[in-house]
Every structure is written in structure tokens, then in C-alpha cells.
Amino acid sequence: MGSICGDSQPHNVVLFPFMSKGHTIPLLQLARLLLHRSLPVTIFTTPANRPFIFESLNDTAVTILDLPFSHNVPDIPVGIESTDKLPSMSMFPSFANAAKLMQPDFERALQTLPRVSFMVSDGFLWWTLESASKFNIPRFVYYGMSYYSSCVGRAVTIDRLLFGPESGDELISVPPFPWIKVTRNDFEPPFTEPEPKGLQIEFIMEVFIATAKSRGIIFNSFYELEPLFADYWNSECTPRAWSAGPLCLAEPPKGSTEPHNKPIWVQWLDKKHDQGSSVLYLAFGSQAEISPAQLKNIATGLEESKVNFLWVIRKSESEISDGFEERVKDRGIVVREWVDQREILMHESVQGFLSHCGWNSVLESICAGVPIIAWPMMAEQPLNARMVVEEIKVGLRVETCDGSVRGFVKWEGLEKMVKELMEGEKGKEVRKKSKELAEMAKKAVEEGGSSKCTLDLLIDETCGKKT
Ligand code: UDP
């Protein structure tokens, strides 16, 4: 790999991910891509988040710098340094504001680094723009959202929802994209409130303003997946967008090939594959909270569907229903640990994914050619689910009992959709489309592919031409 330097001194890159797994993982994948291009990378984080980053990149020469995270923040339990560990997402605005207290330490550390050529920081760390400006460092923003949800979210919140009279499930057209219809329930407060108010809206305004003033925004997407929305962003919105994804293809899953070194759930998948059986994978990311009643309905739906399944749940959700795991043990496994999700999705036996539609999970599923049952829970997931089902057609929507986008799902609805995805005609259609997109994703990051060329161009423009 050639060195990318305008002169003899290396061009260092600073990465500052937000403190949650869904925001951190893709930036660690970006770190790999930069390191492959011989750019030294320094990642800023907090002490509690360091071990995960260190473990993920321990085969690289990355530098990790810790900044102390304040533990005297009203509303936030002492010791919590990641949104994955917040007892409730209602604490998110206080947590995000507490992150700003790292600014002086961040700036002191920046001064000690040699020649920082650019910075990529999470959109939620909006104040890093000010730090970057103080040291004349171009800042690129990372959000971890698709072009689709960024463009639709922007058009609707600016034009209609903040002020419109529509109720929860009434369909509203999105002005620049008339074929797309959304509901107020696709969005979370404060966008759906009649007046902008409170800490959350102030935070969002800061994020929007700092984003617009940054050098660029890096999308974890690839042009061929959503060309219309990528073009819309670059003609109507600021700052300039760069598609560098899917970042999850930056490295193969770390899984071992030695049978005895594989986690038991991968050994179980191997067994299913040897038996010629296909498996449904279920997981809801690192943030979503599932109620006990909902867990019981998922379990009953799986039991009745008779499909093989691998279900990852959070440790805090350990109670499912009496005797469930014993009854289904021949065709189902419940895992209560951190898994390598990409390794599971890439496994030949996995033929379907029941997902909350976090953007990383959607991309990982697309890259594995695995179709999705879309069950959004929070944040921009309802928009991701619309994209998956209505726009790129790689998934089916789960049936909620009241027909709303994020409602309760009864076991009968779940059983029906699981069977449709794994055995039905609609399942076949979305599986075929998923496999086509997987091929396109692979091409995008290969030599000459759109995302590979885009990242090279970003580096060339920011650091100077390759020598
Ligand atoms: N993930 C994982 N193992 C787990 C749970 C999650 O590897 O046990 C990864 C998953 O592959 C994805 C990220 O964590 O890269 C979750 O991001 P996503 O956007 O899907 O959802 P979020 O957690 O942000 O809601």
C-alpha cells in the first residue's frame, strides 16, 4: 500500500466515536480502512470504552487516547460512560451534554499530536467542530444513518412534522419524494411535538448547525444502494457527503475455523448447516429494551412457527417463559452474550434476520445477502424499516397488533411473518434481492468500486495527492 503524503511527515487522522456500540463499531472499521492506506490513526474515547476498542483493533497499530468522563452529571448514574448502559433512553440528552465536558481535555490532547490532517467525529459530539477549528483541522461528521433516513427525516421535520396537525398513524407525503409516505410515529420527540422545546431540541440544533459547518459528512452507505438519495443530499444539503461503506466489509468476521475454538452458537449453526437446515437469526441491537410480555410473545411465535432460530437477547432480559428453551432445544438456541453478529449473518445456515433495523444491522444483513423481518423500535429505525421494505425491498414488515410502526407484536403476527420469510413466496423475492445487493456492496468496496474511490478521493483532497 503506497504512502499518502504530500511531504515526508505522515498525515495523522483523529477519530472520535460517540460512546455507544452502534456508533463506535463503524468508526473502528473506518480506522482499519485508513490504516490500510498507511495513515496513522488516533482514536479518542473514555476509560470505560477503551477495552472494547482495544480488543476490536488489537491487531493494528492504532493509538487510543482516553479522556476522563465526568461522573458528577445530574440524572446519570455514576460510572456510566456509554448509552448502551443507560437505564433509560430518556437520559440521553443529559448524557450527550455531559460529553461536552470532555472538550478542554480533548483540546489539550490535540495540541500534543503531530500534524493532524483531518478529524472524523460523531455528529453527537458537535462541539468537536469548535476544537477542530481552533487547530485548523478539517472536521468530517459521522452519523451512522442512511441517505434515505437522513433525507426523508430532514425533509419531513423541516417541512411538516414540527408544525403539522397530523395524528400518529396518518400518512404524510414527503415533499421531495412523493412516493414515500411516513407517519408521525416514524419519528421521536422532539420532532413530533407542537413546539420545539427543552434540552433535546437545543442539543439537536447544535448537532445540525455543527454538521452543516463541517468539511463533510461520511455516510456508511454505498452509492448504488441509494443513488437517488445520495444525489439529493449532495444537491440540496450541506455539508458535502462521502459514501465510504459498507464499513462492515473493512474486515472479515474474526471467527475461528478451529471447531473447538468456535463459540457454541457458531458450532450449533455448523450443525444445522450439516443437517441442511436454515436458521432465522433474531437480535435487537445494543440499545432496544423489550418488555417481558413482548419477549413471551416472541417466544410463543417462534415455538409455533417450527423454524430453526438463534435468538440473541440482552442479559437483563433473561426471563422468557417457563420451559421455553428446553421445549425448543432441538431447533432453537438463546444466547445471552455479546456475539460477532457479522459472523452469524455470514454463516451459510442463516437465511433470515428478525431485526430492529439499526442501520449497522441492516447493512450487515445486506452484505450477507440475508433478508430481514423489519421490526423498528426507536431512533431512525422506523425510517430504516421503510427503506428496507418499501424502497430497496430486502425485507418484510412485522405485523403489529394495532398496525402502527412500532407497536406490540402478538405471537400470531410474528409466527406468520417468520414463516413467510423463511418458507413463503414473498420471502423468496426478498432473499433474491438481498443476494443481488450483497454483490453490489462487495463491488463498491473493491478496487475501482464507488466507495473505495470515494474514500481515496477524500484522503487525496484532504491530505494532498498520493506520492
Ligand atoms: N452487535 C454485535 N454483537 C451483539 C450485539 C450487537 O456485534 O451481540 C453489533 C452489531 O453487529 C452492530 C452493532 O452492534 O454492528 C449494533 O448497531 P445497530 O446500528 O444495528 O443497532 P444499535 O445497537 O445502535 O441499536
Which ligand 1 atom minimizes the distance to the CA of 337? 8
What would you report as the CA-atom Rg of the chain, rounded to the nearest whole angstrom? 22
Length of the chain: 467
Cell of 234: 449532495
Give me the mean pLDDT over the 100-109 stretch. 97
Q: Using alpha carbons only, give the angle 335, 341, 346 rounded to the nearest 5 degrees.
A: 115
Maximum separation of any 2 CA atoms in the chain, in Å: 66
The pLDDT score that the predictor gives to residue 184 is 85
The pLDDT score that the predictor gives to residue 244 is 97
Q: End-to-end CA distance of the chain, in Å?
A: 11
Q: How far is the CA of 137 from the centre of ligand 1 (A)?
A: 30
Q: Could you report the predicted ipTM of this complex, rounded to two decimals?
A: 0.99
The pLDDT score that the predictor gives to residue 102 is 96
Q: What is the pLDDT of residues 38-65, one digit of tens each?
A: 999 999 999 999 999 999 999 999 999 9
- In terms of Cβ atoms closer than 10 Å to its own Cβ (0-12, 13-18, 19+), residue 271 is exposed
The pLDDT score that the predictor gives to residue 196 is 52
**pTM across the whole model:** 0.94
Helical ranges in 237-290 per DSSP H? 264-274
Q: How confident is the model at residue 467 (pLDDT cuts 50, 70, 90)?
A: very low
How far from chain centre, in Å, is Cα 138? 24
Q: What is the pLDDT of residues 380-398, one digit of tens each?
A: 999 999 999 999 999 999 9
The pLDDT score that the predictor gives to residue 4 is 45
The pLDDT score that the predictor gives to residue 283 is 97
DSSP, res 145: -
The pLDDT score that the predictor gives to residue 163 is 61
Does the beta carbon of 42 lie inside 6 Å of ligand 1? no
Q: What is the pLDDT of residues 285-338, one digit of tens each?
A: 988 888 899 999 999 999 999 999 999 998 666 678 789 999 999 999 999 999
Does the beta carbon of 312 lie inside 6 Å of ligand 1? yes
Q: How far is the CA of 198 from the centre of ligand 1 (A)?
A: 29
For the sheet containing 216-219, what is the strand order? 63-66, 41-45, 12-16, 116-122, 139-142, 216-219, 241-243
Given a cut of 60, is residue 195 above it in pLDDT?
no
Instruction: Compute the mean pLDDT over every residue in the chain, rounded to the nearest whole number.
Output: 91
- In terms of Cβ atoms closer than 10 Å to its own Cβ (0-12, 13-18, 19+), residue 457 is exposed
- DSSP, collapsed to helix, strand or coil, labels residue 127 as coil
Cell of 18: 460517540
Give me the mean pLDDT over the 271-288 stretch. 94
The pLDDT score that the predictor gives to residue 466 is 45
Cell of 308: 430453526
Q: How far is the CA of 360 from the centre of ligand 1 (A)?
A: 6
Q: What is the pLDDT of residues 154-169, one digit of tens each?
A: 888 777 666 666 677 8
The pLDDT score that the predictor gives to residue 162 is 65
**Candidates 341, 345, 355, 357: which one to mutate for ligand 1, based on the most atoms within 8 Å of Cβ?**
341
The pLDDT score that the predictor gives to residue 149 is 97
Does the beta carbon of 285 lie inside 6 Å of ligand 1? yes
The pLDDT score that the predictor gives to residue 166 is 67
Q: How confident is the model at residue 5 (pLDDT cuts 50, 70, 90)?
A: very low
Determine the Cα–Cα distance for residues 301 and 465; give it in Å rounded to an integer: 57
Given a cut of 60, is residue 147 above it in pLDDT?
yes
Give me the mean pLDDT over the 456-465 stretch. 90
Give me the mean pLDDT over the 96-117 stretch. 94
- pLDDT: is 466 or 380 the higher one? 380
Residue nearest to atom 6 of ligand 1 (CA): 285
Q: How far is the CA of 22 from the centre of ligand 1 (A)?
A: 5
